[in-house]
Structure formats: structure tokens, C-alpha cells
Structure 1
Amino acid sequence: MNGNRSGIELRRDESGQGPIVTGFQGRGFRVRDDVFPEGLLLSPVRAFAWQDAPPVDALTVAHLGDLFDLDVQPEFLLVGTGAALRQPPRAFVRELEGRGIGVEVMDSRAAARAWGVLRAEERWIVAALMPLV
């Protein structure tokens, strides 16, 4: 690897898996031809910009907007916490667990890769990926 992380590309067969992160660009994520520099919210049916991604320690369920508005409740939320792994507030995790939604936390690059693997397994999940800063 040449050390330039801004041009890293992930290649994966996207058939039937919904939106998949195909690479990283600067501090953001690439999903096919679209770049999401400020953060990314993913569901099995769509990818959309996370314009107001808060710092990890201030994360609330309200920050996720309509991410959970799906016909079927997701198994869990995959949280990408930016360049490094940081834990979200315990109240955030408890609220989602109270709804029957698990929470898995990792740095955003690992979360983007995990998203692709889990969607290839057809797991019904959602993700919130904070910018790579």
C-alpha cells in the first residue's frame, strides 16, 4: 500500500445487497459514484449523507433521523466512530437495546468493511459512519 488512504477502493459484488461502501475519499466514503464527505447513514435500501454527525460522546438516537424507518426492524446498528474506536454514550446504547436493536461499535473504516460482509450475508442491519478525521 502506498500510504495514500484517500484513494483506497474496496471492490465487492453489489448484486442484491443494497448500497455498499466501495472506497474512502478524504475524510468520507464512496458508495458507487457518490461521495459522502461528512458522514454516511446506511440501510439495506439506501445510503444518505449524515450532514450533522455529532461527536461520538454526544451521539443520540435523534441524530440518526429516519434511519430506522424500515418495514422490518434492523438486527443492529453498526456505528463507525471516525478514525479511531470510541464508545458512544451508554444512554444511546441502552435506548436502542430497549427497542430490540443491538449496537456494534468500531472505527469507521472497519465498520464500512463489516457493512459489506454483513450485507453479503443478507443481514438486515443499519449503519452510521462518522467522518474519517
Structure 2
Amino acid sequence: MQEITYAEAQPIDGYGPGFFRIMDRLFHEPLLVSPWSVRGWGGLTDTATPLTLAGRIDVLFLGTGGDIAHAPRTFRAALETAGIGVEVMSSPAACRTYNLLLTEGRLVALALLPVEG
């Protein structure tokens, strides 16, 4: 096995019921994670925060908690109009996908809702 390195990116170190661990810090709220920052996110009604990434990322992985749920039409439309692709999946799958694409140097970000439990 080969150790994965992320240069200066912000990988997801772990997650569980109600929390995410990033760079050895615990977070208990919805988050917007990019290779260069981690910040709170207002959830599916907050389009403004992810739009700040326009021109800096190609794809936003939307982690909708423990199960896959549809992104609100207005949320998806606003991001896609700004040139950001949106991929919806459960939060655990979104974390794994984000970490993998970080190792490839892709321009990705992650909007996460915690897994209930």
C-alpha cells in the first residue's frame, strides 16, 4: 500500500453520526469544504456560500446525509449557471469521492450535511 498525500488540501479524515473530522478538528454542522478552506454552510437553502467557489472548482459534491436526496432545483440551477457541476450522493460517499479526487489534483469541493444518528 502507498500512503496518500494531499499537499495543502483539506481532506476528510473521518465522519460519523453528527460529525466530520477534518485536519484533526471536529465539526458538528453542515460544511462547505474546498481544497483551501473549511467553513460552515447553511444547508440546502444556502446557495450563496457555494457560489463563492465559482471559477475555482469544476464540481461540487453534495452530501445529503445518510441517504441520497434530491438537491432543490433552485440550488442546482444556481450552481450550474455559475459553471459548477453538482453531484448528489450520501455524505459518506461524497467524502470518499472528494478525497479520491483531491489526490488527483481535481478542482472539487464538498457541501456536507451530517449523517443523523
TM-score (norm 1): 0.75
Aligned-pair CA distance for 1:103: 0.4
Tell me if 1:68 matches 2:53: yes
1:20-76: CA deviation from partner (whole Å, max 9, x where unpaired): 0111143111012101111221111112233x33xx4xx3412x267417xx42101
**Runs of 4+ residues over 3 Å off in structure 1:** none
Which structure has more strand as a fraction of its residues? 2
- Which residue type is aligned with residue 36 of structure 1? F
Q: Which residue of 1 aligns with 2:93?
A: 110
Of the two, which has the highest radius of gyration? Answer: 1
The one-character-per-residue Cα deviations of 1:65-112 (angstroms, maximum 9, x if unpaired) are 67417xx42101110001110011112111111111110000101101
Match of 2:60 in 1: 77
Q: Distance in 2 between matches of 1:89 and 1:110?
A: 19
How many residues were matched structurally? 114
Q: Which has the higher contact order (CA 8 A, sep 6+)?
A: 2
Aligned to 2:69: 86
Q: Distance in 1 between matches of 2:59 and 2:78?
A: 12
